[in-house]
Structure 1
Amino acid sequence: MTVVVVQHAPGETPPAVSRVLAAAGVDTRTVLLTDGEDPSADLDGVEGLIVLGGRGRRHGFGYGSGSGSGETAGGPALLRDALAAEVPVLALGAGARMLAAGGGRAVRTASGARDADPAVRLTPAAGADPLFAGAEPPSPGLRPARDPLHLPADTVVLASCNGLPEQAFRIGGSAWGVRFLRQDGAADPWAADLLARFAALVTSRSEHTAARAFFTRRAEAWEERFAHQTPAYEAGVARMRLAPGGVAVDLGCGTGRAMPALREQVGAGGRVLGIDVTPAMLAAAARHGRTRHGHLLAADCTRLPLPGASVHGVFSAGLLDHLPDPYAALHEWARVSAPDGVLLLFHPSGRAERAARHGRPLDPADLLAEDNLRPALERAGWHLDAYEDTDGRFLARAVLRRRTGDGPGAAQPARPSPAGASR
């Protein structure tokens, strides 16, 4: 895994930063900010950013005390794209001002009476924060930043002190600014612990980070690029044969091309959910009117925020064999599915067609090969009742076997009433 260190001063990554990240098995690469130049916004192979800031002026990278120049500019494209793709970002010292600029329109500023030597304290919100939860109180020797800072309205403040409230903050779910640390990561036990925590967070999120980075920059053109596949999606969904009033989920929905067909099957009294890990894809789905057919939800498709036995149909196009643990995913999809629930694995082209397009032979170990897929489904509780792998499409339909105790008189999950139907 690689973390990019964005800094103004030439030279290698500060030793304290690289040492802690290396100990966690994370490589570092430096991107230099210079006056008049914006670093490349290429996030391929990048799992995280550490922003150290600088003093360049032409792009609003001025971070002198009270200058405010970094508060009005959007920051470098690399940072803006990382925020959009939810690539984890840790901005230290002066870099926190750059993060605040890239986070959106600033609407509030620090104010109030100031102590002569205020101590930095974690706020109650830090206890539930993905990066700060469980952290020790900041070291007494860490002094607060004293210049005012404007932050976006939805910013979560994580560390404060009397009269200087925004000492550490989170923007969204993946970007943190810490103003009271030296931006070179100079050795301090609390700073080293924070860097180690960030490295662990980067590691735990790496699979999702790669997917978000890949699809975020493609989301705008995705619908137009693949609009010709819509009839194939409709034909695939038709094979699910869902009953009216049921709950249907499009996993890894992208721009939600399957959602209109799913809505047609479950009717006005049913419910359709489009779930994807990339917010930019969900935003594109909303722009293309998919919210008329169901709800859009940003979530991990292998850890669904759904109750057990609550779903009657799961549609998944081109997702399963790209997941880090597809076998666990099949079990999770079985968990949320009702007895006799349907799983449809789909792709608008066959396995051989896709392999040829990428210049490689068919892999006998491919999970989607029938001899591999059938036992994997069976172990998760699914029965494969249809399998097609042609040049025109890949389709595998499976039905969830009834669990022990299920039967004609067993309690079934409630189907949504018309009042709870999606718009």
Structure 2
Amino acid sequence: MAVVVVQQASAGVPAAVGGALGAAGLTVRLVRLDGGELPSIDLSDVEGLIILAAPHPAGASGRPLVREALAAQVPVLALGSGAELLAEVTATGSASKGPAVEPTRAASTDPLFAGSLPPGLRPDPAEVALPPGAVVLAAAQGYPGQAFRLGGSAWGVRFAGVHDGEDDTWTGQLLSRFAILVAARAEHTATRAFFTHRADAWEERFAHQTPAYEAAAFRMQLGPGATALDLGCGTGRAMPALREQVGAHGRVLGIDVTPAMLAAAARHGRTRHGHLLAADCARLPVPRRSVHGIFSAGLLDHLPDPRTALAEWARVATSDCVLLLFHPSGRAERAARHGRPLDPGDLLAEHNLRPALEVTGWNLDEYEDAPHHFLAHATLAG
């Protein structure tokens, strides 16, 4: 995993960029523009993207990369001409003169722009048409959109003084904040990038597993009116069975960190069975002691901090809550499929899972590591 830095063919990684990324424990992968064209970049192993130069014309090879990064919520920082990949820009003059660039009100709560801008920054006088939903973070009189954010993961910075070294202190702060953000989001970025590519075909590819998901969900034996969560829901294959148990007056939430998987779930009609929500399964936007059942398939052992997640799930659980961990393949079957022996350190091995559950407030009631499925049934400790 690395942060990709897009630069002109003859240029290297600027010292300020390399220093900020290195200080955050991130590695750099330089991608040079080849004859104005941007080579293909696989985002599945990319933690972040810094664009210091744009292909010309910008849309020729750059925009598909930006669209893919936005869809997967890969953090993007585009500086100078690189911001052309985030907005339509038509040059109209020189940047030698112009009013000062000032932060907008939205900048005060932005993770990169919080705090004031240094004085004397000159606006880029190009005429800008920002995409719908863009949040303007800095502007100058007569020159809007000098810095902007798209969604919660991509920033464009166009004004002079950032990319030409005139204000190294503020530029260094900007790069450091971006590097820290990339490092903090690395696990989720990798997950989103992996599943965004696969979301459209996921339901059809694994349709044969749907009966197993339904059978596992019914083993929770939830009552009418209960609230159930499908955590790491993907395309929501367990949601119909959860809805059938909790009835019309119950509540079903499908939660996943990858928006593309939730979009696929909606296309397959899962909104008929419950609500879909993009959220971190270790930081649930759910009230304390409000959930009667938690279903989670193939998620726990892939989380960066499983015990923190289990403690969070205990926080939202009612006293009679049921937790069901599931996978449509047994541990031995999965290990053999990947050509490796069973790992004694595997979190899902009973000798590891039981204490992990107990220390976070759960009792393991049933444990099945069968040839063709894995299932662990737990209840909240009294």
For the superposition of Structure 1 and Structure 2, which TM-score range results when normalised by the shorter chain? over 0.9
Q: CA deviation at 1:55?
A: 5.3
Q: CA deviation at 1:366?
A: 1.3
Q: CA deviation at 1:253?
A: 0.5
What pairs up with 1:376-395 in 2 under 5 angstroms?
A: 376-395=356-375
1:119 and 2:100 correspond: yes
Pick from 108, 111, 123 the counterpart of residue 130 of structure 1. 111
Structure 1 counterpart of 2:18: 18
1:82 and 2:69 correspond: yes
The structure in which a higher percent of residues are strand is 2
Structure 2: runs of 5 or more not aligned:
none
Structure 2 counterpart of 1:188: 168
Amino acid at match of 1:125: A
Q: Is contact 2:137-2:148 (8 Å) kept?
A: yes
CA gap of 1:356–1:394, structure 2 versus 1, over 3 A, is same
- 180-189 vs 388-397, which moves further: 180-189
Pick from 124, 139, 156 the counterpart of residue 160 of structure 1. 139
What pairs up with 1:204-215 in 2 under 5 angstroms?
A: 204-215=184-195
Amino acid at match of 1:277: V
Deviation sequence 1:168-200 (CA, Å, 0-9, x none): 100011000011145746261111100000000
1:170 and 2:149 correspond: yes
What pairs up with 1:19-418 in 2 under 5 angstroms?
A: 19-35=19-35, 37-54=37-54, 56-57=56-57, 61=58, 75-101=62-88, 117-133=98-114, 135=115, 137-181=116-160, 184=163, 186=165, 188-402=168-382
Amino acid at match of 1:197: R
Deviation sequence 1:129-167 (CA, Å, 0-9, x none): 12222x3x2222321111111111211111111111211
Q: CA deviation at 1:24?
A: 2.7
Report the Cα distance in structure 1 between the residues aligned to 2:158 and 2:187, rounded to whole angstroms. 29
Report the Cα distance in structure 2 between the residues aligned to 1:312 and 1:379, rounded to whole angstroms. 20
Deviation sequence 1:50-100 (CA, Å, 0-9, x none): 11223523xxx2xxxxxxxx5xx6834332211110000000011111122
CA gap of 1:349–1:332, structure 2 versus 1, over 3 A, is same
Q: CA deviation at 1:116?
A: 6.0
Q: CA deviation at 1:35?
A: 4.6
Q: CA deviation at 1:117?
A: 3.3
Report the Cα distance in structure 2 between the residues aligned to 1:9 and 1:279, rounded to whole angstroms. 34
CA RMSD of superposed structures (Å): 2.2
How many residue pairs get aligned? The number is 379
Report the Cα distance in structure 1 between the residues aligned to 2:318 and 2:298, rounded to whole angstroms. 23
Amino acid at match of 1:3: V
Q: CA deviation at 1:32?
A: 2.3
Aligned to 1:16, the other structure's residue is in SS state helix
Report the Cα distance in structure 2 between the residues aligned to 1:398 and 1:97, rounded to whole angstroms. 52
Report the Cα distance in structure 2 between the residues aligned to 1:304 and 1:33, rounded to whole angstroms. 41
Aligned to 1:205, the other structure's residue is in SS state helix
Amino acid at match of 1:91: A
Structure 2 counterpart of 1:65: none
Q: Is contact 1:110-1:164 (8 Å) kept?
A: no
Structure 2 counterpart of 1:415: none
Amino acid at match of 1:194: L
TM-score by length of 2: 0.94
Structure 2 counterpart of 1:405: none
Report the Cα distance in structure 2 between the residues aligned to 1:153 and 1:110, rounded to whole angstroms. 20
Structure 1: runs of 5 or more not aligned:
62-69, 403-423
Report the Cα distance in structure 1 between the residues aligned to 2:65 and 2:91, rounded to whole angstroms. 27
TM-score by length of 1: 0.85
- 75-84 vs 385-394, which moves further: 75-84
Structure 1 counterpart of 2:2: 2
Q: CA deviation at 1:23?
A: 2.8
Report the Cα distance in structure 2 between the residues aligned to 1:373 and 1:166, rounded to whole angstroms. 51
Aligned to 1:202, the other structure's residue is in SS state helix
Report the Cα distance in structure 2 between the residues aligned to 1:181 and 1:218, rounded to whole angstroms. 40
